[in-house]
Structure 1
Amino acid sequence: MFGHRLLKLATRPGASRFAASRHALEKVQRQKLAQLLKRVARQPQAKAAGLEAGMSWEQYAAVQPVTDYDHWRDAIENNRLHDKESLIDSPMVRFQPTSGSTSAIKWVPYTRQFLGELDNAISPWVVDLYRQHPRLMRGRHYWSMSWVPTALRDSMREDINDDLQLMSFGKRLVAGATQAVPQEVSLARSSDESMFATLAYLAADPSLSMMSVWSPTFGLGMLKTLSQCREELAEVLETGRWGGRMLGVESLPCPVSRGSAQLLREWNGTLDSEFFRALWPSLALVSAWDTAASAPWAKQLHALLPHAAFQGKGLWATEGVVTIPYQGQHTLAYQSHVYEFQDPQDGCIYAPWELEKGQVVMPLLSTGSGLLRYQLKDLVRVDGFNGGVPVLTFLGRAGTTDMVGEKMTAPVMEHALSRVLLPETLTPVCTVAMDDAGMGTPGYVLLLEGGSDEDADTLAGQLDSCLQQHFHYQLARNLGQLAPLRCVVHPAMRERYLHQCQQRGMIEGNIKIESLQYWPGDFPSWLPRVAGGQETVP
């Protein structure tokens, strides 16, 4: 397609810069900091903090503390709601909503400077994609949108959840011509309507050559919704009319494909790789998270679309990008932001050129949004170097659950899970720390997806024993402060987990399956309670 050739041409300069400067990591990063401080130092908040243009890397690190969102919350809200001074001297484009594992909506400033930094990561990624998967040139692409809660839609811009908006204006225009789904689907009145329209466009396009989503569970959910709505989608594709769908977005043309409509009508709804091969014969690549707790779900997604290659995503957060898939490795996006890395054990902070193979660290980002030394609660392992630039593997979230002093972490939980014999019929979704684990006592509940719970008690005992190798957990169990770990099995546990995350303020499409979470508040009504040693379903 002509649009793909134009996009390759537009992204080539950024890709060339990325490739050429990999052996000058320290020089590039020091220059990035100098450019950032020039813009930041002009703002009142920076002057009050003692930040000045021309500071060296070492002077900056001595003055600016490590921060999180709470550090910037008041300044961001004053800027967003009252049009007060921004954190950086760069035109504001929008405020992007995001959420953490346990937090409600946060608003991240997206300035012109920050979007340019993201564009610096996208260019080498896109060029490398075309180089490794040339069949991508032959069809249209789907780059997922992060479905925002329906209640927020009236207060947000239409481009706020479109991944193409991470590109520069020119590249966005070119990339738009390669897309299977028009941006206007985001204007629908609800996320359900947006999803229906997205599936209609995807089902109507046999030339689809790339499906890029963030969470593999989101991709699996899309395929399941396609199954559930197949009769209605077939009617829409056959008639070319939305019917009762997409009211208020009448300008959005309805796709037509009688061939796809026939496939949908003949389909019995079973998620089957042969059906998807017939629907999307040109699919060349599926892209999604595939590390840490996302790994089993990425495997399931690829199993349904095996005729396409699979690429694991790099580490992206709404606050910035850490790694991109590049030459088969997750390489630090060193041309984007200013990066530092903190050891979670002793708190020592390293410049990216100081990292050594085998280290496990947490990224700190200083970006064109004005967030400085912003700590991402992610653990990454240094697995090597790509021409002098660190190659990093995402290990999971860095947070600790500590209800009664047990000091549990995701790596400890994952290590324990790796030591038990998990039946092939069960897939772990998440281990949740709860103030009331169903017996009036704090405890941990492993959520599993599967059809039978006959192995649940045995598995729970094995996992609890493994966790007791962790001193603080064993002490809490011995003192009766923690209830024994429980395993709860349900055939649709993933969907229940995702729904619970949405109820807690997280954004669909951005929700990452995690090894360990803490759910404060009331005991979820859909989980079985335990009374007198017996489970009861409320």
Structure 2
Amino acid sequence: MFGHRLLKLATGPGERRFARSLPSLEAVQRENLARLLGQVAGMPAHARAGLSPDMSWERFAAAQPVTDYDHWRESVEAHRTRGESRMTGSPVNRFQPTSGSTSAIKWVPYSKQFLGELDNAISPWVVDLYRQYPGLMKGRHYWSMSWVPTSLRESMSDEVNDDLQLMSLGKRLVAGATQSVPQNVSLARTSDDSLFATLAWLAADRSLSMMSIWSPTFGLGLLKSLALWRHEIADVLQSGDWGDHMHGVGNPGCPRSPRAAALLREWDGSLDANFFKALWPSLALLSAWDTAASAPWAKQLHALLPQAAFQGKGLWATEGVVTIPYQGEHTLAYRSHVYEFQDPDDGAIYAPWELETGQRVMPLLSTGSGMLRYKLKDLVRVDGFNQGVPILTFLGRAGTTDLVGEKLTAPVLDEAIERLGLPAGVTPVCTVAVDNAGHGKPGYLLLLEGLPEQAGDAGERLEAQLLEHFHYQLARNLGQLEPVRCVINPAMRERYLHQCRQRGMIEGNIKMESLQYWPGSLPGWLSPVAASSPDREEPAL
């Protein structure tokens, strides 16, 4: 397609800069800091740190503390609600919503400078994609939207949902010509209408050659929703009319495909690789998270779309990008932001050129959003270097749950669950720390997807594994914690995702995590009574 050739040309210079300066990591990072300080020094949010445009890397690190979102919340809200620019001199294009594992929606300023930093990561990734997967040139692509809750849609700008907005304007216009799903589906009044329209456009596109999403569980949800709505979508594709969908969207357009309509009507709705091969015969690449807790779900998704190659996503957050897939590795996006890395055990902080193979560290980002030395609660391992630039593997969310002093971490739980040797067809979804696991005591719930009879003694065996850890054993001996409990359900993934949405997290960006803390009351289906009564009717999600 002509649009793909134009996009390759548009992203080529950025990729060449990325490749050419790989040996100059330290020089590029110091230049990034100088450029950033030119925008943020003197702004009210940074007055206490006393930042100046001519600061060295070392003086900046000494003056600016490590931060989290709460450090910037007041300044962000002052700008978002009252127009008071406190964090950066770069014009703010929009405020992008995001959410953490336990937090409700946060807002990240997307300034002109910050968007340019993201564009510096996208260009080498896109060029490398075309180089590795030439089949991408032969059809249209689907780049996932950021699925904003229905309740926020009327208060947000038209442009906030589309992941293509991470590109510069020129590249965005070119890339738009290669897309299977029009941008205006993000303008629907509800998330359901956006999802329905997305599926209709995708089903109609026989030439679809790439699906780029974030969470593989979101991809599995897309396929299941296609099955549930197959007859209604078939009617739309046969008639070329939206019917009761997409009201309020100006010039919504509507796909028409008698071929896809016939396939959907003949389909029994079971998730079957042969059906998806027939629907999307040109699918060349599937891109999604595939590390840490996302790994089993990525395998399930790829098994349903085996005609496509699979590429694991780099580490991106709404607050910034850490790694991109490049030359077969997850390489630090060193031309984007200013990067530092903190040891989770002793708190020591390293510049990226100081890292060593085998280290486990957490990224700190200083970006054009004005958020400086911002700690992402992600744990990465240094697996090597590309001409001096670190290659990093995402290991999962960092940090510890500490209900009563037991100090459990995700790696500890991952290792313990792996040693359980769960039966085939049983998949761990998450272990959640809760304030009331029964009898008014806090504790842990292992959520498994599978049939009830497959659970066996998994809870007891996991408890035995955790009792090998001093602090957990002490908390149990002192009667401070309930024993870990296993909850299994054939639809556990969907139940977990529903609960994440109920807690304010954003669809499409919900990352599967090994360990989470869920404050407040538990849903009925996780209560001890519900879990011990398999015949009890549970609410549909």
Tell me what 1:59 maps to. 59
Hey, what does 1:464 align to over in structure 2?
463
Q: Is 1:261 equivalent to 2:253 in the alignment?
A: no
Cα offset, 1:478, TM superposition: 1.5
CA contact (8 A) 2:340 2:363 kept: yes
TM-score (norm 2): 0.98
Q: Which runs of 5+ in 2 are unaligned?
A: none
Q: Tell me, yes or no, if the aligned pair for 1:529 and 1:535 is still in contact at 8 Å.
A: no
Matched, 1:206 2:206: yes
SS at match of 1:442: strand
For the residue of structure 1 that corresponds to 2:47, the secondary structure is helix
Asked if the contact 1:438/1:523 (under 8 Å) is kept, the reply is no
Aligned to 1:7: 7
Q: Equivalents in 1 of 2:377, 2:530: separation in Å?
A: 36
Specify the SS of the correspondent of 1:430: strand
Could you tell me how far apart the structure 1 residues matched to 2:85 and 2:440 are?
48
- TM-aligned CA deviation for residue 469 of structure 1: 1.4
Rounded to whole Å, the distance in 2 between the matches of 1:492 and 1:250 is 37
Q: Distance in 2 between matches of 1:303 and 1:456?
A: 24
1:399 Cα deviation from its structure 2 partner: 2.1
**Alignment CA distance shift 1:250-1:111 (3 Å):** closer
Q: Secondary structure at the match of 2:200?
A: helix
Change in 2 beyond 3 A, CA 1:531/1:35: closer
Q: Distance in 2 between matches of 1:533 and 1:521?
A: 21
SS in 1 for 2:256: coil
**Is the contact made by 2:42 and 2:51 (CA closer than 8 Å) also made in structure 1?**
no
The equivalent of 2:39 in structure 1 is 39
The Cα shift of 1:438 comes to: 3.3
| Per-residue CA distance 1:156-185 (angstroms, 9 max, x = gap) | 011111100000000000000000000000
SS at match of 1:432: strand
* Structure 1 segments (4+ residues) deviating >3 Å: 530-538
Given the two structures, how large is their TM-score scaled by the length of structure 1? 0.98
Secondary structure at 1:428's aligned position in 2?
Answer: strand
| Aligned residue number for residue 516 of structure 2 | 517
Q: SS at the partner of 2:525?
A: coil
Q: Distance in 2 between matches of 1:112 and 1:68?
A: 22
Deviation at 1:47, TM superposition (A): 3.4
Task: Quote the Cα distance in structure 1 between the aligned partners of 2:43 and 2:100.
Answer: 28
Output the CA distance in 2 between the equivalents of 1:439 and 1:219: 38
Q: Report the counterpart of residue 390 of structure 1 in structure 2.
A: 390
Aligned to 2:341: 341
Give, as a single letter, the amino acid of the residue that structure 2 aligns with 1:215.
Answer: S
Aligned residue runs from structure 1 range 164-203, under 5 A: 164-203=164-203
Rounded to whole Å, the distance in 2 between the matches of 1:94 and 1:63 is: 29
Which of 6-15 and 525-534 deviates more?
525-534
Structure 2: distance between partners of 1:44 and 1:244: 49
Cα separation, 2, equivalents of 1:531 and 1:9: 58
CA distance in 2, matches of 1:149, 1:164: 19
Structure 2: how far apart are the matches of 1:29 and 1:277? Answer: 45
Distance 1:207 1:408 in 2: 47
> Secondary structure in 1 aligned to 2:363?
strand
Distance 1:267 1:70 in 2: 49
**Deviation by residue 1:159-213 (Cα, 9 ceiling, x = unmatched):** 1111000000000000000000000001101000000000000000000000000
Aligned length: 537
Task: Give the percent of matched residue pairs that are identical in Structure 1 and Structure 2.
Answer: 72
Q: Are the counterparts in 1 of residues 287 and 313 from structure 2 also a CA contact under 8 Å?
A: yes
Provide the alpha-carbon RMSD of the alignment: 1.3
- Give the C-alpha shift of residue 462 in structure 1: 1.0
**Aligned counterpart, 2:499:** 500
Aligned to 2:483: 484
Letter aligned with residue 346 of structure 2: D
Say if 1:534 and 1:151 are closer, same or farther in 2 by CA, change over 3 A.
Answer: closer
1:349-388 paired onto structure 2 within 5 Å: 349-388=349-388
CA positional deviation for 1:533: 8.0
Which range moved further: 482-491 or 7-16?
A: 482-491
In 1: Cα distance, 2:41 partner to 2:334 partner: 22
Structure 2 CA distance, aligned partners of 1:536 and 1:74? Answer: 49
Q: Distance in 2 between matches of 1:109 and 1:283?
A: 35
Shift of 1:523: 2.0
Counterpart of 1:95 in structure 2 is: 95
Amino acid at match of 1:171: K
